[in-house]
Amino acid sequence: MRSWLAWSSTALLALIGCGPSETGGELVTFQPLASGLVGVHGSTDFDTGSGYRVHLSAAKLHIGAIYLRLGQSNPGSANASCVGATTYGLQVPGPADVDVLSDELQPFTVQGNATSDLDQSAEIWLNGEQESVTSGNGETSGRGDINAIDSTTIVASVAGVARKGDKAFPFEGSIRIGRDRLIPTSNPAQPGQNPICKLRIVSPIPVHIRPEAGGQLLLRVDPRPWLDSVEFATLLPGEDGTTLEIRDVSNGSGPDVAASRNFFSGVTGASADVYQFSWFNPAL
């Protein structure tokens, strides 16, 4: 009997020592940051693929949110859904207006949080803030909605001068993503074929990030490729009559529409050359 009791006591103590066990991974809270890439290289002048020498005087990006997915996204997927409900490993669920000509680290307005799983693709949400949404308890907030049809938020803007030969093309441009950019469905049986959220999400951007406690997410934005395919010579003067305008259109006619589309594609193209994510630990 004594040995039985001794054995029992030993096993009991061993069990007590166990406590809650590992379930794998961890939750990480961090301060997300963004910066421009141009300034890092010391110059805002660059050459485009269309043969222009461009000097940027302003370039800004309004980011609605950032999400990183655990797996690699399939860019060719026909899935109309913009949100895969349970596949995200990192989120920055709030906006930042980023001066992408500055190499200063610019914080987002919200904290980010993540799991310690490996994230392999990133999404940058370019939605606005003006849309109102009624929440479950009946309250209305000025919260953005990736699916809201109408939006007045300027998500990207640029200004500068492009030169080709001896000609100068002062320009400015901006992008909103709203109703006028909706792509009509080609099949009435598929009314949800082209949701507007697809236009607003820059995805998939390849990443290889495993968040860990104490670290921070940094997004560096290089605006130069935004203008890589813009033919500045086709732009029309804006309201002041002197500055050329990259119009905020995606449809319609005119010699400058292609330039507008190319600018939009440059901003919303999921290129790691434009949007570089990294995870760093400031303590190291």
Residue 138 or residue 165: which is nearer to other proteins going by CB?
A: 138
Q: How far apart are CA 93 and CA 115, in angstroms?
A: 14
Residue 90 or residue 101: which is nearer to other proteins going by CB?
A: 90
From the CB of 206, what's the least distance to other proteins, in Å?
19
Give the x/- contact pattern for other proteins in 127-166, rule: CB under 8 A: x-x---xxxxxx--x-xxxxxxx-----------------
The only residue of 2, 22, 184, 239 in contact with other proteins, by rule CB under 8 A: 22
Is 6 near other proteins (CB under 8 A)?
Answer: no
Token digits of residue 79: 């899935």
The only residue of 39, 93, 238, 269 in contact with other proteins, by rule CB under 8 A: 93
Is 4 near other proteins (CB under 8 A)?
Answer: yes
Is 3 near other proteins (CB under 8 A)?
Answer: no
- Distance between alpha carbon 134 and the CA centroid of its chain, in Å? 25
User: Of 50, 51, 57, nearest to 36 (Cα)?
Assistant: 57
The only residue of 2, 3, 42, 86 in contact with other proteins, by rule CB under 8 A: 86
From the CB of 262, what's the least distance to other proteins, in Å?
27
For residue 72, count other CB atoms closer than 10 A to its CB. Answer: 12
Give the x/- contact pattern for other proteins in 171-210, rule: CB under 8 A: ----------------xxxxxxx-xxx-------------
Contact set with other proteins (CB under 8 A): 1, 4, 8, 11-12, 15-16, 18-27, 64-65, 67, 78, 80-86, 88-91, 93-95, 109-110, 113-116, 125, 127, 129, 133-138, 141, 143-149, 187-193, 195-197
